[in-house]
Amino acid sequence: MDIDTIAAIATAPGEAGIGIVRISGKNAIDIGNKIFRSKRVKSLKECEERKLNYGYAIDPKNEKKIDEVLVVYMKGPNTYTKEDIVEINCHGGMVPVRRILEVVLENGARIAEKGEFTKRAFLNGRIDLAQAEAIMDLISAKTDSSFDVSLNQLEGSLSREVSDMRNTLLAMLAHIEASIDFPEHDVEEITYGELESQGEEVLEKINKLLDTVYTGRILREGIKTIILGKPNVGKSSLMNAILRENRAIVTDIPGTTRDIIEEYINIKGVPLKLVDTAGIRETEDLVEKIGVDKAKGILNESDLAIAVFDTSRELEKEDLEIIELIKDKKSIILLNKTDLPIKISEDEINKLLPNKKIINTSMIKGKGLDILEETLKDMFLSSEIQIKDNTIVTNVRHRNQLLKSKENIQEALESIRIGLPIDCVEVDVKNCWENLGEITGDTVGEDIIDKIFANFCIGK
C-alpha cells in the first residue's frame, strides 16, 4: 500500500458549489505539482502547508486549463491516512471533478478502492476498526441522535470499553501462566479466586454493552413501522400527514394502494422506516392480493404496527382479522375519521386489544398526529439517552462479537466454579480476548477487513 498513490472524488455526484478530488500516498504532492498552476508560486511545495492556494488545474500534456481551483497539501503522518495528501477543490458538477480526476490518474495515481482512504488510516494505526466503522455510520446517520452515537464511537468510546476488558483478560491470562509455570507454589486456589472476580467484571461490562443493542439498532436502522388497516380507512392519508408530503395516492376508491411504499422520517429524534401497505381484505384482484400478502409478511418483520380503524363504520370481518394479526405485536391503535359520526367506541377496541395505546385521529382535521408522534418517541426511547456519557452498540458485527465473548467468559467462569484444570480456563479466556479484539481490529483477519471496507463509498 505504501507503493501506490490513490485518488478519488471525495464529494457526492451531482451539481454543487464545490467538488473535491483527494489524492493520498507518497507521490501525492508530486502529482499535485504537475497539474497545479499558480501566478503566486512556481510549485505547490513553495506554498504553506494546510492552507488553500488559488490557481488552476491544468493538463500537463498541453498546459490547457481544466478549472479554477483551490489546492491544499498536507504532509504525513499528521493526516487522515497518515500519508501525504493533496485535495483539489474545484467547481462542483460531474464534468470538472471527472476531468481533474482523469488527469490525476494519468499522472501517477490509481483510482481508490471502496473505503481505501479510511482503510489506510486503519492499517497505518491512526484509528482502530470500530472507529473506522463509526465514520461510515456518521455519513449514513438519519437523526441527530444516531449522529451523536457515531461521533461518540469515532472518538473511541467503544474502543476504550473493549480495551479495558481486554486488559483485564490479559491480567487473567498472566495469572494462569504463572500458575502453570510454577506448579510447585501453591497458588492455584488464590488464582481461581482472582480469576472468578476478574471474569465476573468482564461479564458485567459485556452485558452492559449488550443491553444497549436494541436502542443502538433503532438509532442506526430506524423503527420498522407498518401501517395496517382495511381499504379506505386513511392509511395513505396518515403516511402523507406524517411525511408532510403527498407521497401516497389518496382516493375514495378502496384498494388504491397495491404495493409497498417505504420512507424514512425523523420523529422527535427517533428514526422511523415507515411502510404503507395494501388494505387487508379478501379480493379477486391478483395484483391487490399480492400486495395484501406482502403486507402480512412485512408485519412479522416489523418493530411496530400502526393499525388504523374507520370509526364511521362498524367493525367488519377485515377489522377483526387485523385485530387478530396484531394482538401479540407491539402496536398503536388509531381510531380515524372521528370528524364523522362515530360507530366504534374506545371501549369496544379496548376489550379486543387490551393494554394497547389508542389514539383518536382525523386525518382531514390533522387531529391526533402530535399525540402519535409523542407516543412513538415514548415507546422506543422511554428513558432519555445520555449520548455523551454512554457507549451504545449500533453495529451488528460488534453485537455478534460481544455475544461470542460473553459465551467464552461464561464458560471460563463455569470451569473455574467446578474446578476444571486451569489450562481449560485458559482456552476460554484467550478466546474471549481474541473475540473482543475483532471489534477493534487487533485480532481480525484480512478477509473481515476487506468485507468491512467494501461497504464504504470510494471517496472515503
The burial class, CB within 10 Å (0-12 / 13-18 / 19+), for 359 is: buried
Q: In Å, how far from its chain's centre is CA 352?
A: 38
End-to-end CA distance of the chain: 16
Residue 254 annotated as part of some ligand binding site: yes
Residue 38 annotated as part of some ligand binding site: no
Residue 237 annotated as part of some ligand binding site: yes
Residue 366 annotated as part of some ligand binding site: no
Treating both helix axes as pointing N-terminal to C-terminal, what angle do 157-181 and 188-210 enclose, rounded to 10 degrees?
160
- Of 413, 406, 401, the C-alpha closest to 172 is 413
C-alpha cell at 339: 370528524
Residue 87 annotated as part of some ligand binding site: yes
Give every strand in the sheet of 331-336, ordered side by side: 261-267, 270-276, 223-228, 304-310, 331-336, 357-360
Residue 205 annotated as part of some ligand binding site: no
Residue 22 annotated as part of some ligand binding site: yes
Pairing of strands 64-74, 85-91: antiparallel
Residue 330 annotated as part of some ligand binding site: no
Residue 45 annotated as part of some ligand binding site: no
Residues 6+ apart with CB under 8 A from 378: none
Residue 93 region by backbone torsions, left for phi larger than 0, else alpha for psi between -120 and 50, else beta: left
Residue 234 annotated as part of some ligand binding site: yes
Residue 233 annotated as part of some ligand binding site: yes
Strands annotated E in 104-206:
110-111
- Of 92, 84, 90, 89, the C-alpha closest to 108 is 84
Residue 332 annotated as part of some ligand binding site: no
Residue 354 annotated as part of some ligand binding site: no
Residue 236 annotated as part of some ligand binding site: yes
Residue 120 annotated as part of some ligand binding site: no
Q: Which residues are documented as binding site for GTP?
A: 232-237, 251-257, 276-279
Q: Which residues are documented as binding site?
A: 22, 87, 126, 232-237, 251-257, 276-279, 460
Q: Which residues are documented as binding site for (6S)-5-formyl-5,6,7,8-tetrahydrofolate?
A: 22, 87, 126, 460
Q: Which residues are documented as binding site for K(+)?
A: 232, 251, 253, 256
Q: Which residues are documented as binding site for Mg(2+)?
A: 236, 257
